[in-house]
Amino acid sequence: MTLPEKDSFISTLTQHTPLSNQQLRLLSASLKAFTSRGYLDTSVQDIVRMARTSKSTFYKYYKNKDALLVHLFQLVAQALIGLVEEALASYPPTSERTYEAIKTYIQTCFNHRDVAKLLMVDTVGLCPDLEAERLQVYEYFARIFQRELASTTYHHKPEAKEKWILSHAMVGAVNQIVIQSLMLPSLPSPELLARVLEKMLSKILRDEIC
């Protein structure tokens, strides 16, 4: 199996991150191997063979396979955060902006279903360093929700403790919806999912039950 020197998906993820051609090839090869063979069934030897490089080159950049997986997760998370922030910046502070941000998150995960399933389902609990990164990313998205709750024109303005609870609950709800959707034979509409999630948040704030 051959690979181009810069896989298009990896190229997109790393367009603002200076990496050597060797590292790009390792990232491209590992992503293809992990999504096709599975993370546990892919060895370092498999990756270097697909990348047409050597183990010494691999260990120049990564101490082990887990470290490479964490780097992949970081690149995907950075790109996803950028897309969500871009969506938020494109709309005034209304509930529609929250909907667009949620839709962007879900749509991006669905557009790269194999990658999302790898990082959100298949590798959960396999690597402590990855779980630490995952928690950091979830916390970042929770802060985005807290910011939206403070600036968006909802009927009820939640207090600080309420914002903390609601923001983390929404991150959990969005991610759980994505995870369950990835397991279905066909993906549901991102627009429908995002609209229901945003309406759920609006109802909580409108009824002041938080």
Instruction: Supply φ then ψ for residue 156, to 5 degrees.
Output: -110, 125
Assigned domain for 68 exists: no
Same domain, 81 and 130: yes
Assigned domain for 148 exists: yes
Query: Which amino acid is it at 95?
Result: S
Give ∠ CA 148-153-158 in degrees, rounded to 5.
65
Same domain, 51 and 87: no
Assigned domain for 1 exists: no
125 phi-psi bin (left φ>0, alpha ψ -120 to 50, beta other): left
Same domain, 53 and 93: no
pTM to 2 decimal places: 0.89
Nearest residue to 204 (alpha-carbon basis) of 167, 168, 156 = 156
- In which band, very low, low, confident or very high, does the pLDDT at 59 lie, cut at 50, 70 and 90? very high
Same domain, 98 and 192: yes
Number of domains into which the chain is organized: 2
Same domain, 151 and 55: no
Per-residue DSSP letter, 187: P
Q: Which of 6-10, 67-71, 90-94 has the highest mean pLDDT?
A: 67-71
Same domain, 54 and 88: no
Listed range (9-18, 84-93, 171-180, 186-195) with the worst mean pLDDT: 9-18
Assigned domain for 128 exists: yes
Same domain, 96 and 181: yes
Mean pLDDT confidence for 179-195: 97
Same domain, 83 and 45: no
Nearest residue to 118 (alpha-carbon basis) of 70, 153, 162, 151 = 70
Structure tokens at 71: 């780097």
Same domain, 93 and 187: yes
Cβ pair 121, 179 in contact under 8 A: yes
The CATH number of residue 52's host domain is: 1.10.10.60
pLDDT digits (tens, 9 = 90+) for 99-112: 999 999 999 999 99
The CATH number of residue 140's host domain is: 1.10.357.10
Q: pLDDT value at position 210? A: 43
Cβ pair 163, 146 in contact under 8 A: yes
Same domain, 110 and 203: yes
The chain-wide mean pLDDT, for the chain, equals 89
Which residues, 6 or more positions from 129, have their beta carbon under 8 angstroms from its beta carbon?
66, 67, 70
Residue 180's domain spans which residues?
A: 73-207
Mean pLDDT confidence for 48-64: 96
